[in-house]
Amino acid sequence: MDHNSIIDRNTFTVYEHAEDYPNAFICDKPIAKAIALLNKKGYKTVASCAGHYYVNYSTDKAHTYILFDKVYEFKNLPEGFNMEISENTSGIKRTSIDYEFNRYKEENNNSVLKNEYEFITEVENISQKLTNWVENLPEYEERND
């Protein structure tokens, strides 16, 4: 199963095959529409992840996240997402938004790893919330204060 989409760096169009588009970047399929639309609206992204299902993964949490190129102060976020402004080792401050969810579920008083279908369904639901939020964001306008 192909887990990534390819997004053109100039037009932010989502494509099927990266080798045909030299100005493209790779993005997880579930969040590709949201990432492309964020960039089209002027909210430039530098990294993102929809969350991945690995049976032998070393943590019980998964994350859907987006790291932006600079500080964007969003007035609201999709339900369940958190925002953080952090500074990297080069002194650049950036906004990130993150949705943390469990890889495990409770079943018969035991913690059991979700099956791949359950996990993918949860990722798709989170991604849809994210896309709905992005669709309602205004175009970004640079402020010169």
pLDDT in tens, 78-109: 999 999 999 988 899 999 999 999 888 899 99
- Asked, for residue 15, whether it belongs to a domain, the answer is yes
- Asked, for residue 143, whether it belongs to a domain, the answer is no
Q: How many domains does the chain have?
A: 1
pLDDT in tens, 106-141: 999 998 888 889 989 999 999 999 999 999 999 998
Give yes or no for a contact between 44 and 71, defined as CB atoms under 8 angstroms apart. Answer: no
- Asked, for residue 144, whether it belongs to a domain, the answer is no
What is the span of the domain harbouring residue 31? Answer: 4-136
Higher pLDDT, 47 or 132: 132
- Asked, for residue 57, whether it belongs to a domain, the answer is yes
12-40 mean pLDDT: 82
Residue ranges of E strands in 1-142: 4-8, 14-15, 24-28, 45-49, 61-68, 82-87, 93-102, 104-107, 110-113
pTM for this entry = 0.82
Cα–Cα distances in angstroms (integers) from residue 97 to residues 8, 36, 70, 144, in the given order: 22, 16, 12, 24
Res 20 pLDDT > 90:
no
- Asked, for residue 121, whether it belongs to a domain, the answer is yes
- Asked, for residue 141, whether it belongs to a domain, the answer is no
- Asked, for residue 117, whether it belongs to a domain, the answer is yes
